[in-house]
């Protein structure tokens, strides 16, 4: 998924002084921005305590090893593992003021709602797509161009198997994970091998990628929409392709209630209500360029930004993009093994 580039954080926890420590939130870097939970700060006088992880896998392993927090912010693909590890407890939607205002596609995700329970409060969603320097890349813009020898040493892909195979799946015509047959897996793997010849580095830090695109070291990359926003703020001529005919992926993340948390449930739900409010979504759209789970956010946010980021029809956009990462465990294991081989040059 995502973290916030340093230059985008307009408000920070430091602005509110030391936390009173009512609850602890385990999150991605940058999500301690009070713009997301102003109502919580207004009620409690300070922000929660925050601890950060670099990616879902690191966060999961830390929690499984005994790290204690009250809330965590995984992406949808991790919920099954968290449930299997007995790390989370169901969400009481009766205590969520805006539950009925959330986008149905997100509220009804099988990772969110299953077995008669709700396991995650959707918060943010966004896109992973082709980001390129409009002044440096010429010709037809599509995913296959990343294998063009003309881009040798000018390409970057994410060092995450789910994102890399999402990119490759779209490039070979897979628009739904249910279409990822053994034959399509081989075709996607062959494509990743072809692109590997052009890859300068596999990125794991958005700041590193942003700097490389800004300097011209990287001309095209498979990246989060936050990269486009960060570089536009720096007056770099870039574009994220949101054309569904070319191919774009969507991700969704949210907050889970951890079983071993030591904070009060009242504080937990105060925080979840603040995050779920349409005003939080307005801030997320306008300041970060990410989309919010609350449908009302799109009505009150700057309409130029809503259109520019492709959020005029959020339900329709999610329906047509490659969503999340849903493959059988056996296929996921094959992808992980093959991706490591590809990166090693085999």
Task: Give the Cα separation of 207 and 228 in Å (integer).
Answer: 12
Task: Give the Cα separation of 11 and 60 in Å (integer).
Answer: 27
Identical fold between 6-125+253-311 and 126-249+323-343 = yes
What token pair was written down for 31? Answer: 């999500």
Residue pair 126/290 in contact by the 8 Å Cβ criterion: yes
Q: What is the mean pLDDT of residues 72-93?
A: 95
pTM for this structure?
Answer: 0.85
* HEC sequence for 163-210: HHHHHHHHHCCCCCHHHCCHHHHHHHHHHHHHHHCCEEEEECCHHHHH
Every domain of the chain and the residues it spans: 6-125+253-311, 126-249+323-343
What token pair was written down for 57? Answer: 């896998």
> pLDDT tens digits, residue range 239-278?
999 898 999 999 999 999 999 999 999 999 999 999 999 9
- Tell me which of 149 and 56 has the higher pLDDT: 149
CATH H superfamily, domain 6-125+253-311: Periplasmic binding protein-like II (3.40.190.10)
The whole-number pLDDT of residue 2 equals 58
> pLDDT tens digits, residue range 18-74?
344 589 999 998 899 999 999 999 999 999 999 999 888 899 999 999 999 999 999
**8-state DSSP, 294:** B
Residue pair 310/228 in contact by the 8 Å Cβ criterion: no
b/e code 45-75 from CB counts within 10 Å (16+ = b)? ebbbbbebbebbeebbeebeeebebbbbbbb
Q: Residue 260: name the closest of 26, 14, 18 by CA.
A: 26
The Cα-based distances of 32 to 3, 74, 91, 92, 260 in angstroms read 11, 15, 22, 24, 21
Q: Kindly report the CATH number that applies to the domain delimited by 126-249+323-343.
A: 3.40.190.10
- Tell me which of 15 and 246 has the higher pLDDT: 246
């Amino acid at each position: 998924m995502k973290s916030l580039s340093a230059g985008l954080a307009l408000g920070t926890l430091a602005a509110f002084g030391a936390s009173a420590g009512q609850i602890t939130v385990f999150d991605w870097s940058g999500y301690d921005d009070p713009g997301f939970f102003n109502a919580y700060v207004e009620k409690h006088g300070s922000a929660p305590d925050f601890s950060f992880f670099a990616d879902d896998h690191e966060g999961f392993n830390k929690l499984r090893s005994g790290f204690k927090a009250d809330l965590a912010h995984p992406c949808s693909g991790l919920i099954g593992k968290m449930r299997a590890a007995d790390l989370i407890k169901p969400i009481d939607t009766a205590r969520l003021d805006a539950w009925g205002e959330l986008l149905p596609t997100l509220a009804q995700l099988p990772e969110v709602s299953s077995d008669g329970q709700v396991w995650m409060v959707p918060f943010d969603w966004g896109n992973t797509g082709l980001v390129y320097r409009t002044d440096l890349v010429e010709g037809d813009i599509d995913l296959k161009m990343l294998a063009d020898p003309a881009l040798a040493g000018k390409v970057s892909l994410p060092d995450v198997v789910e994102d890399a195979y999402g990119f490759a799946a779209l490039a070979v015509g897979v628009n739904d994970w249910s279409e990822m047959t053994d034959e399509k897996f081989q075709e996607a793997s062959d494509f990743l091998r072809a692109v590997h010849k052009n890859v300068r580095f596999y990125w794991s830090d958005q700041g590193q990628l942003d700097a490389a695109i800004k300097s011209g070291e990287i001309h095209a990359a498979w990246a989060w929409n936050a990269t486009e926003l960060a570089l536009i703020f720096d007056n770099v001529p870039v574009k994220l392709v949101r054309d569904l005919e070319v191919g774009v992926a969507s991700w969704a993340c949210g907050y889970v209630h951890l079983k071993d948390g030591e904070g009060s449930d009242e504080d937990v739900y105060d925080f979840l209500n603040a995050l779920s409010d349409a005003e939080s979504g307005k801030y997320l759209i306008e300041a970060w360029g990410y989309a919010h789970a609350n449908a009302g956010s799109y009505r009150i946010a700057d309409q130029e930004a809503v259109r520019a980021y492709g959020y005029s029809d959020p339900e329709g956009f999610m329906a047509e993009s490659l969503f999340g990462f849903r493959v059988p465990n056996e296929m996921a294991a094959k992808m992980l093994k093959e991706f490591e081989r590809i990166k090693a040059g085999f």
